[in-house]
Each structure stands twice: as structure tokens, then as C-alpha cells.
A and B are shown apart, each in its own frame.
Chain A
């Protein structure tokens, strides 16, 4: 942690930064307050609980292909149609999965992240803290 004091709870005194707006400085630093708020914690948790498992999943999926190709070449060489073998199908599926994960993230962000962050914005900019 930084030596300038705990970051949870309001920062007052000489370490408090004036907000950038014009007018008088509010008694409490809205940034620190917002950072400590329940909303921000929710936002952070939601984002992390989506992004980290998803990242782990897609890495595992990529590396699975590489491992199969290295250690199960006969499986990868099985013909599906004409010149197209399992390896090639897997390769194309990598594209599909990339796109699928991106789609899921976009829907998730629109549905679960945006509402929380706009609430925080309203409170910070409207001086709710």
C-alpha cells in the first residue's frame, strides 16, 4: 500500500486532491469515495468474474489444439471431407470460438457492466458522494 494513507475511506487534509471541476472543493474526495463504494466493488467483481475465467478458457482451448497437433497427429489427420482433416476443422473452429467469446463479452458488458458504471458516473458527477 502507499505510504500516504489508507485508500479506503475519505481522504482529507493536505493529501486530498481538489477535483478538477470549477467551484468549491467538496469536503470529501469523490474519487476515493467512489472507489470505496459498493457499486464499484460490484462492478469490479463482475468484470473480473467474467474476464479471468474466460481468458483461462480461451487460452486452454488454443493450447489444446497445439497439444493435440503435437501429440495426437493421427487424430488430427483423420479425413472429414475431401482434403479437409480434423486439424483443419479445429483450426477454423479457433476463429469461431474467438468470435463467440467476443460476442459473449459484448453482451455481458452491455447487460451487466454498463448500468452499474453509469450509476457510478451519475453519483460522482452529480456530487452524490
Chain B
């Protein structure tokens, strides 16, 4: 149960993060003159750039979500970190370098440069907004969940805290800091996760060996101490071993007050607000869908109903979705040339790999120490509850506070990047594109995800993020891959593919998130990428072939520019000016990018439009 100390620690952690973001902004505001800016970014070198990129990439899903999924589903959840890393590899091989040379700062920019069609640009804009919204939902949801788990506040409080910090940074024009500051964020997040995990591992080594090794037993996890669980929603629980406990509330539709006994391998419905009291050593009933026995938990393919299909679908979504995320594109420009950009990508893979070790290990620790979360299905809170349950006393408060601070850093930085991307395209392509519109657009960017969070989503954080990846993989991945590698692509084909694949993915994702489907359909639609990605590629190719006469006349020139020499596009500065690239200007003015490819006078114009 939350107490006063938890509340204090949380407030301190959140304030510290808010202060950090403000100070970072203040520092970068001082180095805002262009030469300083270029110097600061270029001097940073690939190592700092890589940390900056990783720092931005690690969101709620990485921080809390993966620990939660490993805790619940076991080894199968390893696919998430593998997929996140592999997504970077796919991006490196297929699109990173050509996209860099295209000079596009947003995905709609790329579509217009490559295919020169305004209507296609609108389609792309719509999908940038949709993907951004989908990705924002788990960030706000995670913040709500954090404060709820630790201090018992309602969900909207955490979401509001993140929105306020991020909006303040955006409005004061200090949203993205220079590379070095951004790089620190990676190290903050890593520390916030690694220190508690190491402390817990040391603590764990001192435990009774029977308890320590209980994870390979062919038995469910068990409560290490007498535990009381109050359910905050209706759940369906499954047991693999007979279990006996005291319950107050509703079980299997009947009001209960007293001892309950459940047989081996049975399922039971337990009503909201029911309290269950378990003795120490009692086996843990787990929510339907989680892996019951510890020995199966350690084995792949034990999680969910159609594990093979779901796993393929997840892989496809993560592998191909990364390149299509709207906030990723700007990152191709942080390095001065292609060679250092490649080196940076390599380092990003290392940093991500190191980071993902910790959520994985903490999922394993959670299985030992906080099995009660399996009863109410609140598995995303595993990381937050770990030190509190395992350690107690002031070390628990300290480490708990550290994890909360890291989690909030993740929510705020991911949300900020996303809101800027969404607001950027909204203000240029939908609103007239003045600065005031950017502010209005910022509010619009928050509105839809907030509604989703308040309506309550039944999905885990990592699954929520995966939906954004699935839509990106079914819309922008085909556009980028075919646009870069196939000269036959036409605007009509691209639009058809995005609308068919991406559109279907959006519908599937909304139905899955609403939780209105039967379990079979839920499995298929919650991970739609395995159907929608091929559909998108196929319809793009078929329609392009039918509309051959619409292949742009200057396709050789564009493809040469994408594929051949670095910085050849520089000779074509004018072209960027012809684009509706105020998005680019906004992105530039607000970001840490070194902008050698746009003339300095343009940057100054862009900057003067911003408030002091």
C-alpha cells in the first residue's frame, strides 16, 4: 500500500525530471547562435550522437513495458528487444543513407520529393499523425500507471504531469537540446534501471537457494510472504496447482466472504474490488493469458493463443516499423557525413542491446518477488514495485525513486519528440503554418491520445507501442523501400498501398485496443502486420504497374541523388525551398540538427518566428 514516503519520493523524482528538462533547455538556449549550434553538434562525435539517439528512442515500452512482458510471458517477450534492435538494422541497410541524401526532414517531405504529388503528401501527413498518436498513448498511459501504482493517484494525474512538462518545453522553444544533453538522457535512463537491478541481484544472491532457484520448477510462482491483493477490475484467473485462500468480494459470480479452494488447472472469474488473502508459500493464480508455470515461462512459444502467428507478426512489425516512425527521420542528419552516420548507427545498436539486458533481468526478478501483480494483471508496474517489495526501508524508497525518475524521463522525452513531429505536420499541412498554429497544433496533438488514455486501454504498454510499429510498417515502410529501390513506383501506387495496408492496420489496431473482439480475432488483429505489410507492398506494386504513365519524368535524377554520392543533393538547395518545407524549417529551428544543407539566412528566418 502506498504511504506518505512513497508520495514524497515520487514528487521529488518528478520535480527532478521537470527541472532537468528545463535546465537542459536553458543551456541549449544559450548556445542557440548557429555557429555554436553547429559546433556543439558536430564536435559531439558518433559516440555522443549514438547515446543521444538511443536516449530518445527508449520510451515507456522499453522502460516499463518490456520488464512487464518478460515478467508475464517469459522468454517470448525477448522478441521485443530483439525486434527493436533489428528494426535499426533494417533501417541501416535499406533506407538510412538514401533518405539522408534525399534532404527530406519529414516523411511527407520524402513522398513529395520522390513522387511530386500533393495528394500523396496529404495521405502521408494523415499517417504521420495517426502513428504519432498511437505511440503517444502508451507514453501517457505509462505515466498514469506509474503514479497510480506508487501513490494511488487516478490515471489522469500522471498523464497530465507528462503533458505539462512536455508542453512547457515545447512552448518555451527549448524542446530538443544539444546532442550532449540528449546523450545524458540515455545514461540517466540506463542508470535508473541498472543500479536497482544490480542491487536486487546482489540481494537475491543472499536469498535461500530454494527460493532463488524456484524459477526452473515445474510449478507456478509462489508468494514469498503472506500477501493481500485487491483487484481494481474484473479478471479471469487460471491456476495450475490447487490453491486455497481467503476472499472477500465476488468469485465466479457469487458473493464470497471466507475460504475459497480452487482445483488444479481451472479458471475462475473474480469481480472488481474483491480482496484475496494468500498465505506465504501459496501458489500464485495468474491472469488469463500470462504464463502459469515457471518451467514453461523459461521456454519459448508458451505465451498466448497463436504463438507462431503472433510472433511472426510482431517480428515483421518491429523489423519494418522502425524506419517508418515519424520522429526517427530527423536523426539521420545529426552526423556530418555518411561514414560517421553509419558508425553512429552501430553504436546505437550496442547501447540499445546493453540497455535491454536490464528490463529482461528485472522481469525475471519480478517473477520471484512481486508475483501478486500476476493476479491483478498489472504487470507493467513490475519494475516499479520490485525494490519496494524485495528490499523495504530506505533503500527501497531510494531505488524506487530512481526508477520513477528514469521512467518519467522516458515518458517526457518520447512524448516531446512525438508531439513535435505531429504538431509539425499538422501546423504546416493542415493549418496555415504560422507559429501560433504550431501552438494550436501542439494541443491538438495531445488531445486524441489523452482521450484514449482516459477511456482506458486494455493493452500492455509494449503491446500499445507495437501497434504504432505495425501501422508504420504497413504504410511508410513500403513507401520508403519501394521509393528508394524501385523506379517504377508511382504516386497513385504509393497512395493505394499506404491506404490499403496502413488503413487496414489502423482499423485492426483500433478494434484490438477497444477490446471488443472475441479472443481469436483479438489475437489476429492485435498483431496485424503479418497480413497488412504484404498487402501494402502488393497493392503498391500492382497499382504502380497499372499507372505506369505516372512515373515521374525525372526519376533517374532523383534515384541517382538517393543512391550515389553523399551530399550531391547539396547542389540542389533550391529544391528544398520549392517544397512546402516549412515543416523542415520548424524541425530545424526547434531541433539540435546541424543544418549545413539549408542556407543560414533561412535558419535565421525560421528562428525569428519563434518566441524569445
Nearest B residue to A124, CB-CB: B568
A114 touches B349 (CB 8 A): no
From A44, A102, A120, B346 is in contact (CB under 8 Å) with: A102
Report the Cα distance A121→B315, complex, angstroms.
Answer: 38
Report the Cα distance A111→B516, complex, angstroms.
Answer: 54
From A7, A103, A121, B564 is in contact (CB under 8 Å) with: A121
Q: Tell me, rounded to whole Å, the shortest Cβ–Cβ distance linking A94 to chain B.
A: 5
Q: A12 interface residue, CB < 8 Å from B? A: no
Question: Which stretch from B224-232, B376-384, B417-425, B551-559 is at the chain A interface?
Answer: B551-559
Q: B233 interface residue, CB < 8 Å from A? A: no
Contact flag A117-B566 (CB < 8 Å), given A20-B575, A66-B311: yes
> Contact mask A60-80 → B, CB, 8 Å, 1/0?
001101100110010011000
B300 touches A51 (CB 8 A): no
Residues of B within 8 A of A118 (CB): 565-566
Q: Tell me, rounded to whole Å, the shortest Cβ–Cβ distance linking B377 to chain A.
A: 25
Contact flag A34-B564 (CB < 8 Å), given A3-B549, A83-B215, A91-B82: yes
Residues of B within 8 A of A40 (CB): 560, 563-564
Interface size class of B (residues with CB under 8 A): 35 or more
Residues of A1-52 whose CB lies within 8 A of B: 1-4, 7, 15, 17, 19-21, 29, 31-32, 34-35, 40, 43-44, 47, 51
B298 touches A88 (CB 8 A): yes
Residues of B337-355 whose CB lies within 8 A of A: 338-339, 342-343, 345-346, 349-350, 353
Q: B574 interface residue, CB < 8 Å from A? A: yes
Q: Tell me, rounded to whole Å, the shortest Cβ–Cβ distance linking B293 to chain A.
A: 12
Residues of B within 8 A of A112 (CB): none
Q: Tell me, rounded to whole Å, the shortest Cβ–Cβ distance linking B458 to chain A.
A: 26
From B85, B548, B556, A7 is in contact (CB under 8 Å) with: B556
From B85, B89, B312, A66 is in contact (CB under 8 Å) with: B312
Q: Tell me, rounded to whole Å, the shortest Cβ–Cβ distance linking B55 to chain A.
A: 19
Residues of A within 8 A of B301 (CB): 69-70, 73, 76
B85 touches A121 (CB 8 A): no
Contact flag A35-B571 (CB < 8 Å), given A17-B554, A87-B299, A110-B339: no
> Contact mask B242-255 → A, CB, 8 Å, 1/0?
00000000000000
Interface size class of A (residues with CB under 8 A): 35 or more
Q: Tell me, rounded to whole Å, the shortest Cβ–Cβ distance linking A68 to chain B.
A: 8
B346 touches A106 (CB 8 A): yes
Nearest B residue to A2, CB-CB: B551
Report the Cα distance A124→B561, complex, angstroms.
Answer: 11
Residues of B within 8 A of A121 (CB): 564-568
Residues of B within 8 A of A105 (CB): 92-93, 342
B312 touches A35 (CB 8 A): no
B564 touches A43 (CB 8 A): yes
Q: B308 interface residue, CB < 8 Å from A? A: yes
Q: B35 interface residue, CB < 8 Å from A? A: no
Nearest B residue to A7, CB-CB: B556
Contact flag A120-B299 (CB < 8 Å), given A20-B573, A88-B75, A106-B342: no
Q: B307 interface residue, CB < 8 Å from A? A: yes
Could you tell me the dominant secondary structure of chain A's interface residues? helix
From A20, A55, A65, A66, B574 is in contact (CB under 8 Å) with: A20
From A1, A29, A34, A114, B338 is in contact (CB under 8 Å) with: A114
B571 touches A19 (CB 8 A): yes
Q: Tell me, rounded to whole Å, the shortest Cβ–Cβ distance linking A110 to chain B.
A: 6
B346 touches A103 (CB 8 A): yes
B300 touches A73 (CB 8 A): yes
Residues of B within 8 A of A7 (CB): 555-556
Contact flag A109-B342 (CB < 8 Å), given A121-B565, A125-B571: yes
From A70, A85, A95, B82 is in contact (CB under 8 Å) with: A95
Report the Cα distance A69→B86, complex, angstroms.
Answer: 19
Residues of A within 8 A of B444 (CB): none
Nearest B residue to A88, CB-CB: B75
Residues of A within 8 A of B555 (CB): 2, 7
B564 touches A120 (CB 8 A): yes
B563 touches A44 (CB 8 A): yes
Q: Tell me, rounded to whole Å, the shortest Cβ–Cβ distance linking A28 to chain B.
A: 13
A63 touches B565 (CB 8 A): no
A58 touches B312 (CB 8 A): no
Q: B216 interface residue, CB < 8 Å from A? A: yes
Contact flag A85-B339 (CB < 8 Å), given A95-B85, A125-B568: no
Residues of A within 8 A of B319 (CB): 62
Residues of B within 8 A of A117 (CB): 564-566
Report the Cα distance A105→B346, complex, angstroms.
Answer: 10
Q: B572 interface residue, CB < 8 Å from A? A: yes
Nearest A residue to B570, CB-CB: A125
Residues of A within 8 A of B122 (CB): none
Residues of A within 8 A of B559 (CB): 35
Q: B168 interface residue, CB < 8 Å from A? A: no
Residues of B within 8 A of A20 (CB): 571-575
Q: B94 interface residue, CB < 8 Å from A? A: yes
Q: Tell me, rounded to whole Å, the shortest Cβ–Cβ distance linking A47 to chain B.
A: 7
Residues of B within 8 A of A94 (CB): 78, 82, 86
A-B contact pairs, 21 of them (CB 8 A): A1-B548, A1-B551, A31-B556, A58-B89, A66-B315, A70-B301, A70-B307, A73-B299, A76-B301, A88-B298, A91-B78, A98-B89, A99-B346, A102-B92, A102-B345, A110-B342, A114-B338, A117-B566, A120-B565, A121-B568, A124-B571
Chain A residues at the B interface, C-beta cutoff of 8 Å: 1-4, 7, 15, 17, 19-21, 29, 31-32, 34-35, 40, 43-44, 47, 51, 54-55, 58, 62-63, 65-66, 69-70, 73, 76-77, 82-83, 85, 87-88, 91, 94-95, 98-99, 101-103, 105-106, 109-110, 114, 117-118, 120-121, 124-125
- The 4 A-B residue pairs with the shortest CB-CB distance, nearest first, are A121-B565, A69-B300, A31-B557, A117-B565
Other than the given A21-B571, A124-B571, 8 more pairs (CB < 8 A) read: A1-B551, A7-B556, A51-B93, A55-B94, A66-B311, A66-B312, A91-B78, A121-B567
Chain B residues at the A interface, C-beta cutoff of 8 Å: 75, 78, 81-82, 85-86, 88-90, 92-94, 97, 213, 215-216, 298-301, 307-308, 311-312, 315, 319, 338-339, 342-343, 345-346, 349-350, 353, 356, 548-549, 551-557, 559-561, 563-568, 571-575
